[in-house]
Structure 1
Amino acid sequence: MCDRKSQNENRVLIFSALLASGFAGGGLILGLMVGSLVIVFDGVYSLISLLLTLLSLAASRYINRPSQSEFPFGKAIIEPIVIAIKAIVILLVVGYSLYSAIEALFTGGREVDASIATLFGVVNVIGCSYAWWYIARKSRHFSSGLIEAESKQWQMDTLLSVAVTAGFVMAWGMTWSPLAGYAVYADPMMMLLMSFYFIKVPFDMLKEAMRELLMMSATQEICDKVDQNVNAVDKEADQGLELTGVTKVGQELRINVDVHSDNSHTIAVDDLERTRRKLKRRLSKLPYELQLNLNIAS
């Protein structure tokens, strides 16, 4: 990873950590004050986001430290490991929140000061939306699995804040209606609905990370782009080229290409190098660090 990209990644992660620390402290304190399960969850989620962001920051710095003797094949594998840890932790938090919500529903609900909670929700929506927008914009400028995972964390936090605010507005309205007795169920019901929705995002993160850790084929979109470039070079090369494997690990794109020759003659080293340069020139346009392997096949 180039120095500039590494610096940009670190800046985004530090920004995310600072913002998450503010939301974590505010959410935990206010949630305990007003007795809201949802706000406490929001604060706990922000606190865990902070710890996971610090983990991402440490991983980013470690990946960019030279250590060829310890990792002769590079440290790209660290990135999907970190993302898998983040996904598992978020799944555990959502799972526990789901359990707490169900328990509250069967034990008479939870009474919450909806007016203060609504004000907190509005502030949260504004702050989380800005963080999501800023990190997602940075993620488009330079490819980084850690930053993409960070963007998904803030996306979940933003949607969570929107749902919380909308729910508290409804609960506040209920206190002035004949349905006031049911307002105590608004908080655990919101938590229940959000848990079912939010479980998908960390599950997808974990699934994608496991694909990389198990060295499975890259996504169909990446494979198609690589195949198009290999076919374009195949039409120009003297040898026959066959794409045999495409795997994405962290920011590395590992590509295996078989070079076929006629049994009547051998492949000259110069011809092979020329083919390699053409492939590399085309495939380097993809937003990943290229690891290209050419295998001579009869």
Structure 2
Amino acid sequence: MCAQTSLNEKRVLIFSALLASGFAVGGLVLGTLVGSLVIVFDGVYSSVSLVLTLLSLAVSKYIQSPSRHHFPFGKAVLEPVVIAVKGSVILIIVSYSLYSAVLALFTGGREVDASIASLFGAINVVGCGYAWWHIAMKSKRFSSGLIQAEVKQWQMDTLLSVAVTLGFVLAWAITLSPFESYAVYADPMMMILMSFYFIKVPADMLRGSIREMLMMAPSTDILDVVDREVDALDKQVKQHIEVDAVTKVGRELRVSLNVHSDDKQLAIADIEKTRRILSDKLSKLPLDLRLNLNIAT
């Protein structure tokens, strides 16, 4: 990753951390005051997001430092490790919130001041939506696994805020109807519905990071690009080239190729030419290429 991209990544993570700290404090304080499971969950989620963002920031900085002694193959693996931690922690939070909501549902519900909660939810929608949009726009210009994880975090927070706001507006409407006694069940029901939806995002984060740590095959989009460019290159050079292995670890794309030649001797210049052409072709992918050419007999 170039210095400018690393600097931009640092700025995005700092922006995310500062915004998350504000939502964390607001959610915890107001959620406790009005007695809402959903708002407390939002505050806890923002607090954890803050801690995880600070962790991402520290790892992003650490990845840039020299590492040949302890990490002879580089520190790219630290990125999926951090994402796995993020996914696991968020999954635990969502699961515990689901348990608390089910418990509240069967013990008489929870009475919440829906008017104050609705106002807080509307403010959260605007703030979280802006953070999601801002970081998503930045990720189109420069991207990494850490930035993508931030986008997913703010996406979840925005959708959570939208659901909270709509839910409390509905709860407020119920208090004005003949079914006022059922309004106490609105808060735990919202938490249950949101939990089932939000479990998917951290589960996907965890699954993807584990695949990278195990050096499994990347997405089909990446594989298709590599296969297409290698096939095109095979028609341009004297040697026969075939893909041996492709893996994505963090921000690194590791491509191993087998080079076959009819000649008994293979010129170094030909190998370097092959490497240079393929490196240029694969530069369209927003990843750091690690290309390994194996001379096959």
Structure 1-normalised TM-score? 0.98
1:179 has 2:179 as partner? yes
Quote the residue 2:16 is aligned against.
16
Q: Deviations over 1:152-191 (max 9, x none)?
A: 0000000000000000000000001011000000000000
Distance in 2 (alpha carbons) for counterparts of 1:179 and 1:167: 15
Q: Deviations over 1:64-113 (max 9, x none)?
A: 11232222211000000000000000000000000000000000000000
Quote the residue 2:43 is aligned against.
43
Which runs of 5 or more structure 2 residues have no equivalent in the other structure? none
Moved more, 264-273 or 103-112: 264-273
Residue identity in the other structure for 1:43? G
Distance in 1 (alpha carbons) for counterparts of 2:296 and 2:198: 48
Percentage identity across aligned positions?
A: 68
Q: Deviations over 1:171-222 (max 9, x none)?
A: 0000010110000000000000000000000000011101100000111110
The alpha-carbon deviation at position 266 of structure 1 amounts to: 2.6
Question: After the TM superposition, which segments of 4 or more aligned residues of structure 1 sit over 3 Å from their partners?
Answer: none
Distance in 2 (alpha carbons) for counterparts of 1:45 and 1:272: 51
1:273 has 2:241 as partner? no
The alpha-carbon deviation at position 114 of structure 1 amounts to: 0.3
Distance in 2 (alpha carbons) for counterparts of 1:2 and 1:274: 23
Residue identity in the other structure for 2:201? V
Quote the residue 1:81 is aligned against.
81
State how many pairs are aligned: 297
Distance in 2 (alpha carbons) for counterparts of 1:294 and 1:232: 16
1:285 has 2:284 as partner? yes
Distance in 1 (alpha carbons) for counterparts of 2:276 and 2:186: 62
* Other structure's SS at 1:210 match: helix
The alpha-carbon deviation at position 265 of structure 1 amounts to: 2.7
Distance in 1 (alpha carbons) for counterparts of 2:36 and 2:257: 57
Distance in 2 (alpha carbons) for counterparts of 1:285 and 1:165: 41
Distance in 2 (alpha carbons) for counterparts of 1:276 and 1:25: 52
Cα RMSD between the aligned structures? 0.9
Mapping of residues 41-80 of structure 1, within 5 Å: 41-80=41-80
* Other structure's SS at 2:176 match: coil
1:209 has 2:209 as partner? yes
The alpha-carbon deviation at position 149 of structure 1 amounts to: 0.2
The alpha-carbon deviation at position 248 of structure 1 amounts to: 0.4
